[in-house]
């Protein structure tokens, strides 16, 4: 069970805001793993053209969500930035991803990030994206560099 105060503090440190914040909540965090969720509203602008009459969530948006929950939120926790009130600039790079299924609007999606490496504000993780039936939509290895301002 996620401590509500810890969740609020981590989310408050995220450097994103509407319409580019893709985190509804965190469900678990420790030194090795983080999980959280987001539901894309069917009225979000990118659905109008992706694809005609068959809206699916664009892969680049899914990667952003995976990065915000599975990487940046975890880095905030691991680097104790939620206690330091620092302004951060995350740079996500070195992304390898396999998309296995589509993500539909209005579906609650879950991200699970598992740390594989942390040193000098560099976090590398294996990140999975699951649909509401716990079927894997995407799997990725990602790297994020946290720059403190």
| Predicted local confidence at residue 40, as pLDDT | 97
Q: For residue 149, is pLDDT > 90?
A: no
Find the angle CA(59)-CA(132)-CA(56) to the nearest 5 degrees. Answer: 30
Local confidence band at 94 (pLDDT 50, 70, 90 cut-offs): confident
Domain that holds residue 120: 4-148
If one counts the domains in the chain, the total is: 1
Q: For residue 85, is pLDDT > 90?
A: no
CATH number, position 57: 3.10.129.10
pTM of the model: 0.95
Query: Using an 8 Å Cβ cutoff, are 125 and 49 in contact?
Result: no
Query: How high is the mean pLDDT of the chain?
Result: 95
Q: For residue 131, is pLDDT > 80?
A: yes
């Amino acid at each position: 069970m996620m401590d509500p105060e810890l969740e609020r503090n981590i989310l408050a440190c995220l450097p994103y805001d509407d319409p580019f914040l893709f985190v509804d909540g965190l469900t678990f965090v420790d030194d090795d793993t983080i999980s959280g969720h987001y539901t894309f509203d069917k009225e979000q602008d990118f659905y109008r053209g992706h694809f005609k009459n068959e809206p699916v969530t664009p892969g680049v948006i899914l990667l952003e969500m995976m990065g915000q929950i599975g990487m940046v939120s975890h880095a905030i926790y691991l680097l104790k930035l939620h206690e330091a009130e620092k302004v951060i600039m995350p740079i996500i790079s070195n992304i390898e991803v396999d998309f296995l299924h589509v993500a539909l609007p209005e579906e609650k999606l879950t991200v699970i990030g598992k740390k594989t490496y942390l040193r000098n504000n560099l976090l590398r993780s294996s990140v999975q994206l699951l649909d509401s039936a716990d079927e894997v939509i995407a799997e990725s290895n990602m790297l994020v560099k946290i720059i403190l301002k």
